[in-house]
Amino acid sequence: MRTLIALMMVVFSTMSVSVAMADRHTTKEIDEVFWDIYYIPPQPEFPGGQEALMEWIEQNKVYPQEAIDKGIEGRVIVKFTVEEDGTVTNGKIVRGVDPLLDKEALRLVSIMPKWKPGMNNGEVVRCFFTLPITFKL
């Protein structure tokens, strides 16, 4: 009986992988939206580089007064897309600290200047970028 159950699990898992692979190749919408975004380098770059990015964050970050009063601090991890024209879109919290700090991190991402977009084989591409934003009292 255990052998039969194990065999059935293998068959069903193989079928689901086959269906998922078939979907990937037949769904044009997924190909256009999902597969055209690169997950690994080429990395986009903030104007002026990493140091300029950290400086920009510190100059534009507004620590919420309520978070100060409550002694809330920590590091919020934000993920966003750098589009082909360098604009930053689709900011999402990957790991939050508190809704007050999470909201401020998303606000910062939404007002960022255009980045230098990622390049792949000499072609401009959309890229994900993950950024930690530290809030320290």
Which CATH number belongs to the domain containing residue 60 in this structure? 3.30.2420.10
The residue whose two tokens read 């999470």 is: 102
Tally of structural domains, the chain: 2
DSSP letter at 64? Answer: -
| 75 in the same domain as 55 | yes
Q: Are residues 84 and 118 in the same domain?
A: yes
Same domain assignment for residues 57 and 4: no
**47 and 21, same domain (yes or no):** no
Q: Hey, which of 21-35, 91-105, 113-127 has the most confident mean pLDDT?
A: 91-105
Is the pTM here over 0.75, yes or no?
no
Nearest residue to 72 via CA among 100, 32, 106, 35: 100
What is the average per-residue pLDDT within 110-132? Answer: 92
As a whole number, mean pLDDT of residues 94-112 equals 97
Domain that residue 18 falls in: 1-35
Mean pLDDT of 69-95: 97
